[in-house]
Structure 1
Amino acid sequence: MPGDEAFTSARQVENPRFDGAEPLAVLSAASADDVAEGVMFANASGVPLALRSGGHSYAGHSSGDSALVIDVRALSAISVAGDGSATIGAGARLIQVYEALGQQGRALAAGSCATVGITGLTLGGGVGVLTRAFGLTSDALRSVEMVSAEGMRMTASADENPDILWACRGGGGQVGVLTSLTFDTVPAPTITTAFLEWSFADAVPVILAWQAWAPDADPRLWSTLKLLSGGRHAGPAIQLTATWIGPSSELDANMAGLHQGSGVLPTVNSVQPDRTYQDVMFSFAGCAGGVSAEQCTTGAGGLLQREAFSATSHVPTDLLDRNGAAALVERCMLGQQLAGAREVSVSLDALGGAVRDLHEETGFAHRDAYATVQYTATFEDSADPAPYDVFVRESRAAMEPWWGTGAYVNYLDPSITDPGAAYFGSNAARLADIRSSADPSARFALPGFAAV
């Protein structure tokens, strides 16, 4: 409760821009029964609810201003069964998942940020370094344990409440409070990583070549292309990080199409062959060199730092022409002039492969997209977010002539005026029906989503 010694830390989420939020209270649930009690209390008293797993809501919804926050971060137990399936507490951070699975020789395709919660990531889809080989995080989801809008504990699986499971597999959820998730996992692969950088003068041909090459490359090869500027950089930069789970000796041949397509060679091409899954995921999380999962956090005793940011997104299906690539480059160059920006980034994460080829229906609507695109600007914690919000949204608007209005719900942007169409496309109507049936009073609906 406000005034309690632990309240300041209990209310804190990952983006410092929301530190001013004032929850009515934070329920740090220690069990699914605690979650049920919280929901029933809120129903009986008419108190608004906010749900928190990792605390990474880009729109700040998990900060719970003027609401009761149900925080499931303590529900973080992870177990791996003999068949390789993993049951993961709804509050587990990704770094905890990678450590627990890696120690069992198993892997799950998911994101690279250490402190992201497994639940929010899965509900929106889940893109990461193994995505093209094994699919989205949500594609591996087989069942969930949850608390309903009435405060009842229930299961959703292929055999029990299948529509609820469908909505949880990349459809944005908003159907209940998840308390645990069960996934299929895969044997942990050996991973070769590569880092490339080009002269920024070559950015247009590199972008054009990457977008044509990356989604149709061997599914064992994933890459993210970044355009970077801002105070951390001497000038605009274009970089690529790639992961390859085939024989390390075959990486060069699989990268050749990118070089041939661009007609230019990188100025930096650094390869680290044959790394373990756990080593690679800790490295991407910023926790290489023997850092433990307990230290790989922004919380108490952690080595990571929170950072204020603004963000929005695209999920494109149409390739850029030269003018489109030049427009993207221009936004990066303008980012170098954005006053107070620590870093301005456009990140293109490759899709295709197993994401495109899945023959199973899920709530994720962007199977034909070739990438997710994230526009971000990081800034001083005490700075006014408004100019950075304006900048990233202007970047999205500048690219709409080529990329339309589709967006990725895990990079939630409250300024998007038709969230159903943008985030869920042709799945929007079915998802709205499922949410309405599961939560007729819209207790779990995010702002702007109650009617979509």
Structure 2
Amino acid sequence: MTALSRRTLLAAGSAGALTACSSEPAGRPGSGAPSGAAVPSSPTPATPTGVPWQALARALEGDLVRPASPSYSSLRVTPNPRFDSARPLALAEVASAQDVATVLRFAADHGVPLALRSGGHSYPGWSAGDRRLVVDCRRLSGIGWTGTDVTMGPGRHLADVYAGVAGRGRAVPGGSCPTVGVGGLTLGGGVGVLTRAYGLTCDHLVAAQAVLPSGEVVTASPDDHDDLYWALRGGGGGHTAVVTSMTFSTVVAPTIVSTYLTWPAAQAPTVVPAWFAWMGSADARAWSTIKLLAGAAHPDGPTLGATVTWVGPASGFDAVLAPILATGPTARYDHTRDYLSAMQAYAGTGAREAFAATSHVAYAPPASGALGDLVAAVATTPGTLQEAGFSIDALGGHVGDLAPTETAFVHREARATVQYTATYTSGGPAPARSYVERLRRHMTPTWGEHAYVNYADPSLADPGDAYFGDNWGRLQEVRSSYDPDGLLTQPQ
């Protein structure tokens, strides 16, 4: 994609760049995927022997895909080619909660390690399931309605989530990547373009059907298994239970007014603090993300841009923008769209692309010295990386309607989530991984160790505290209560 076509895409309102979903073509197994792909960054379990796989296959309503199966090569891969070398022992394409229960009991009885997958977007590749039995929930993707509440399977991709609810004139706040599963998004909290206006995705979770490691199928809600319900709203996926359906409250689908603003990259030390000050007091109906990007996709040097969305009256948009317009952006591209069209515009292609990433959760504006170091580091991004830099997504607004202890998502008072991401088209992941870790180190003096669990990072020294803060102790208790034998072993 040329620099001009990329600018055209951004002007259309895409919020998908510099995330797990790319707006550019990406490698596929056997057709140019990066070489030297790494297996997931978690302990590789020993391969169990004497496992009666045929018995499991006969017991499932869905399918058990083994390495000799014709569909194994296509089903085993995740959206990140970095993990294409992972080889699951099998993938159980579960078709019901009873299938999940059968798989969990089988794994417990035969000592088979598990990995859970809804959309497959685990940043460290844990859902790739190297030498594990993958509980693949992508077939659990149905949708149904009770009044204005919608029930969906965890494997429903966000593109289908938005199409399904928009057909009823309703909306659910969530992320922009079209191939992310709604299960993983919700369990980690769920941030996106409507976060400030309507809260996190998990704030709309009314109830969830879940299969416990014991095989028992339960409903978690404010009135039933309320401790599990608390944990499922922001406590991260891969622990405690396997969710098989989720019921959400919805809102009336809004008309979304948006703009894309650009500045010279050299203005980042001034514009980024101004953006923080503006978002810190902005009307909750406004949301924004600001990005500084470099790499081979930006041959003319780093680019600085911000996307802004507004769900209030169109006549009020310029007044909301006034503080950030005072910084003197060099270009502005406006759009007014219905909810579904807006979400489709933000989504990008969802093409597979190799990347490394880590995160911060920012409770304060960046200190000037640290920000200067960060901007300088992005300015020297090597051309061997396709696109790299940072993306800051606003929190605030209705995210703060709940206290930090009311759900497992603790970062209710934070100002923003931050992603440091590097995509690449050839070679191994080491340069990209080193790059994002270096960016994070520049900002740790300002933002501490706070991080977002949906951008999981195996290198964090204390991930429980980073992701969950004061909620970590309670979350450990809930996990121990529902999974006392530790059947679910995802590292974070």
TM-score, reference length from structure 2: 0.85
Q: Which amino acid aligns with 2:354?
A: A
C-alpha deviation, 1:258, in angstroms = 1.9
Match of 2:193 among 101, 118, 129: 129
C-alpha deviation, 1:339, in angstroms = 4.2
Match of 1:139 among 198, 203, 213: 203
Residue 8 of structure 1 is matched in structure 2 by 73
Structure 2 CA distance for aligned equivalents of residues 356 and 175 of structure 1? 26
Match of 1:107 among 160, 163, 171: 171
- Structure 2 unmatched ranges of 5 or more: 1-65
Moved over 4 A (4+): none
Structure 1 CA distance for aligned equivalents of residues 117 and 392 of structure 2? 27
* Cα deviation 1:224-244 (Å, max 9, x = unaligned): 000110000020111000110
Residue 456 of structure 2 is matched in structure 1 by 412
Structure 2 CA distance for aligned equivalents of residues 95 and 272 of structure 1? 20
Q: Which amino acid aligns with 2:375?
A: V
Structure 2 CA distance for aligned equivalents of residues 98 and 54 of structure 1? 15
Residue 268 of structure 1 is matched in structure 2 by 331
Alpha-carbon contact 2:174-2:191 (below 8 Å) kept = yes
Residue 343 of structure 2 is matched in structure 1 by 281
Q: Which amino acid aligns with 2:144?
A: S
Match of 1:223 among 283, 288, 295: 288
* Cα deviation 1:29-85 (Å, max 9, x = unaligned): 111111111111101101000000000000111000111001010110012221x11
Residue 299 of structure 1 is matched in structure 2 by none
Match of 1:158 among 208, 218, 222: 222
Alpha-carbon contact 2:171-2:253 (below 8 Å) kept = yes
Match of 1:361 among 406, 431, 454: 406
Residue 124 of structure 2 is matched in structure 1 by 59
Residue 295 of structure 1 is matched in structure 2 by none
Match of 1:333 among 379, 390, 393: 379
Alpha-carbon contact 1:375-1:396 (below 8 Å) kept = yes
Higher RCO by CA contacts (8 Å cutoff, separation 6 or greater): 2
- Within a 5 Å distance, the mapping from 1:84-123 to structure 2 comes to 84-123=148-187
Q: Which amino acid aligns with 1:403?
A: W
Alpha-carbon contact 1:307-1:379 (below 8 Å) kept = yes
Alpha-carbon contact 1:80-1:104 (below 8 Å) kept = no
C-alpha deviation, 1:200, in angstroms = 1.4
C-alpha deviation, 1:316, in angstroms = 1.1
Match of 1:306 among 352, 359, 365: 352
Match of 1:373 among 385, 398, 418: 418
Alpha-carbon contact 1:135-1:358 (below 8 Å) kept = no
Residue 274 of structure 2 is matched in structure 1 by 209
C-alpha deviation, 1:436, in angstroms = 0.6
Q: Which amino acid aligns with 2:101?
A: A
Structure 2 CA distance for aligned equivalents of residues 247 and 399 of structure 1? 37
Q: Provide the identity percentage.
A: 50
DSSP 3-state at the match of 2:68? coil
- Structure 1 unmatched ranges of 5 or more: 288-303
C-alpha deviation, 1:97, in angstroms = 0.3
Structure 1 CA distance for aligned equivalents of residues 90 and 264 of structure 2? 51
Q: Which amino acid aligns with 1:353?
A: G
Comparing 304-313 with 319-328, greater Cα deviation is found at: 319-328
Structure 1 CA distance for aligned equivalents of residues 276 and 373 of structure 2? 15
Structure 2 CA distance for aligned equivalents of residues 188 and 4 of structure 1? 43
Comparing 160-169 with 352-361, greater Cα deviation is found at: 352-361
Match of 1:38 among 88, 91, 103: 103
Structure 1 CA distance for aligned equivalents of residues 418 and 270 of structure 2? 18
Structure 2 CA distance for aligned equivalents of residues 244 and 250 of structure 1? 9
CA RMSD of aligned residues (A): 1.2
Alpha-carbon contact 2:371-2:443 (below 8 Å) kept = no
DSSP 3-state at the match of 2:380? helix
Comparing 352-361 with 71-80, greater Cα deviation is found at: 352-361
Structure 2 CA distance for aligned equivalents of residues 242 and 407 of structure 1? 23
1:187–1:371 Cα change, 3 Å: same
Residue 343 of structure 1 is matched in structure 2 by 387
C-alpha deviation, 1:201, in angstroms = 2.0
Structure 2 CA distance for aligned equivalents of residues 71 and 330 of structure 1? 42
Structure 2 CA distance for aligned equivalents of residues 85 and 61 of structure 1? 31
